[in-house]
């Protein structure tokens, strides 16, 4: 049975110079193979001191039980500040809590049902966009899923499609931004003077300003529409009209710009990565593709039928296990701790790695195999309870987790119903951690219409 691609881990012992070189080129292959078996590992170099944690009890401690004591690491956040300002993704403490109180209601179950028609419409648009490419020529599929996921965000947030003038500009400029500012970069880990993060490349700052100006126009227009009672019933209106249950305050327009920037960034890059890898896996395992198609044939634009897409959901979950779009997260210890009998100093970086956890040899059966059926076994369910966190866990869990599960399953069903996907011989995608887990030279597939 073919095992889907994964980067080769490095040897357990390498020189510091080699480690830094690997780290700079790709954080996944820079890690030693033993991390797929270890409960915890300490990394001590002259530049950084961090602990990677795979032990489920420690993960629970850091993410759930004492999450306030392990805030987001400033070093990682710094690179994103010019674009994201004070968005919920970067803040900590009381500011973050207040932001979640205002945002969370928009993503609760009932509201998700309301976003379904917009997600479905984006799926139909993606199917139509693919039509001229469906001629069995190898196509890079990450670009396709990125476009589709961006469309989903604009339709659900602002009731506009990606072809809308401002939406299209935001989408293009985000691409430029990501080229100049990767989320997981080496610099982020290296301790520098406090002022260092403020020195961003000029180009990065300019792009960030321009994206924020575009989003500001959308938010200002929406505020005006809300005031005249004409705000469309979508996520933006919901968030902008929700008062904080504690203080009664709403988001100011500036704060809303910060949040929209993160919804777009966190919401489209991640979903695009997940969809692209899932399509690749379905091309690699045609039996599973057939199962998804069987379900998809009966699917209509009816939210209540979503529960019938069981195999599709299992496939998507399995893809999120093997290729978690957010491969690693970093927290900071705010006081001295003892982890597995080892002293952890205040200020240490705590790395939580869905990538390693999801492939942990002591926590999963056949961790590297693609096996969506595992989700219906006792062993699979047990592993998922303590070793599965594509959306993180605890109070800081991804706001859009429920949304992303609907989006993923619906778009897959629509795309698979319309097209048959096949791998391209000689073009096996190799995962690398960019902003999200992407393929080194893209994900190439061929596809043709089913009828």
Give the per-residue contact string, 186-215, with ligand HEM (x = CB under 6 A; - = no).
------------------------------
Task: Please select the residue that binds ligand HEM; options are 391, 419, 444, 447, rule is CB under 6 A.
Answer: 391
Q: Between 133 and 186, whose beta carbon lies closer to ligand HEM?
A: 186
Judged by CB under 6 A, the stretch of 10-18, 185-193, 216-224, 391-399 that binds ligand HEM is 391-399
Q: d(Cα 111, Cα 160) in Å, to the nearest integer?
A: 18
- Residue of minimal CB distance from ligand HEM? 400
Dist. CA 133–CA 131, nearest whole Å = 5
> Contact at 8 Å (CB) between 167 and 150?
yes
The Cβ of residue 211 has, within 10 Å, a number of other Cβ atoms equal to 25
Min CB(262)–ligand HEM separation in Å = 5
Applying the rule CB under 6 A, the residues between 273 and 292 that interact with ligand HEM are 274
383 phi-psi bin (left φ>0, alpha ψ -120 to 50, beta other): alpha
Q: Which of 23, 277, 285, 403 contacts ligand HEM by CB under 6 A?
A: 403
The conformational region for residue 110 under phi > 0 = left, psi -120 to 50 = alpha, else beta, is alpha
1-35 residues labelled b (16+ CB within 10 A) or e (exposed): eeebbbbebbeeeeeeeebbebbeebbbbbbbeeb
Rounded least distance, CB 60 to ligand HEM, Å: 15
Q: How far is the CB of 322 from ligand HEM (least distance, A)?
A: 12
Measure Cα distances from 311 to 174, 301, 306, 372 in Å: 33, 18, 11, 8
Cβ contacts of 112 within 8 Å, gap of 6 or more: 402, 403, 406
Stretch in the footprint of ligand HEM (CB under 6 A) among 4-12, 238-246, 369-377, 400-408: 400-408
Count of residues interacting with ligand HEM (CB under 6 A): 22
Asked if 316 is part of the footprint of ligand HEM (rule: CB under 6 A), the reply reads: no
Non-local CB neighbours of 316 within 8 Å, separated by 6+ positions: 274, 278, 405, 408, 409, 412
Which DSSP symbol is given to 276? H
Question: Binding of ligand HEM at residue 329 (CB under 6 A)?
Answer: yes
State in angstroms the smallest separation of the CB of 290 from ligand HEM. Answer: 24
Q: How far is the CB of 273 from ligand HEM (least distance, A)?
A: 7
Identify which of residues 367 and 390 has a Cβ nearer to ligand HEM in the complex.
390
Binding site for ligand HEM (CB under 6 A): 88-89, 100, 262-263, 266-267, 270-271, 274, 325-326, 329, 390-392, 396, 398-400, 403-404
């Amino acid at each position: 049975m073919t095992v889907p691609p994964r980067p080769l881990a490095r040897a357990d012992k390498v020189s510091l110079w080699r480690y830094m070189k690997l780290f700079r080129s790709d954080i996944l292959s820079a890690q030693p193979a033993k991390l797929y078996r270890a409960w915890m590992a300490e990394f001590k170099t002259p530049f950084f001191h961090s602990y990677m944690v795979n032990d489920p009890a420690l993960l629970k401690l850091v993410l759930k039980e004492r999450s306030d004591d392990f805030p987001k690491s400033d070093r990682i956040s710094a690179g994103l500040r010019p674009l994201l300002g004070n968005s919920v993704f970067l803040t900590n403490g009381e500011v973050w809590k207040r932001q979640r109180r205002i945002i969370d209601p928009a993503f609760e179950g009932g509201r998700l049902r309301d976003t379904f028609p917009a997600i479905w419409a984006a799926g139909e648009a993606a199917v139509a966009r693919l039509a001229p490419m469906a001629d069995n020529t190898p196509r890079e599929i990450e670009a396709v899923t990125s476009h589709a996921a961006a469309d989903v965000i604009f339709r659900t947030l602002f009731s506009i499609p990606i072809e809308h003038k401002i939406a299209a500009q935001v989408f293009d400029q985000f691409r430029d931004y990501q080229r100049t500012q990767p989320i997981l970069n080496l610099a982020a880990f290296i301790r520098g003077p406090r002022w260092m993060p403020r020195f961003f490349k000029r180009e990065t700052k300019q792009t960030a300003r321009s994206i924020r100006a575009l989003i500001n126009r959308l938010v200002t227009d929406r505020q005006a529409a809300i005031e005249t009672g004409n705000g469309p019933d979508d996520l933006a209106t919901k968030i902008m009209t929700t008062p904080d249950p504690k203080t009664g305050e709403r988001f100011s327009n500036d704060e809303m710009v910060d949040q929209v920037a993160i919804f777009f960034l966190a919401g489209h890059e991640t979903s695009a990565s997940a969809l692209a890898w899932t399509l690749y896996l379905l091309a690699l395992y045609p039996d599973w593709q057939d199962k998804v198609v069987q379900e998809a044939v009966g699917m209509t634009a009816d939210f209540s039928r979503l529960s019938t897409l069981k195999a599709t959901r299992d496939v998507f979950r399995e893809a999120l296990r093997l290729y978690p779009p957010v491969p690693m997260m970093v927290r900071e210890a705010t006081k001295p701790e003892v982890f597995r009998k080892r002293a952890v100093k205040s200020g240490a970086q705590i790395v939580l790695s869905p990538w390693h956890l999801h492939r942990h040899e002591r926590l999963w059966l056949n961790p590297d195999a693609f096996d969506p059926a595992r989700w219906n076994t006792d062993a699979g369910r047990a592993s998922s309870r303590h070793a599965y966190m594509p959306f993180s866990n605890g109070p800081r869990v991804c706001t859009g987790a429920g949304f992303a599960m609907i989006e993923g399953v619906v778009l897959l069903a629509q795309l698979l119903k319309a097209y048959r996907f096949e791998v391209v011989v000689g073009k096996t995608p190799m995962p690398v951690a960019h902003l999200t887990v992407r393929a080194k030279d893209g994900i190439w597939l061929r596809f043709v219409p089913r009828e």
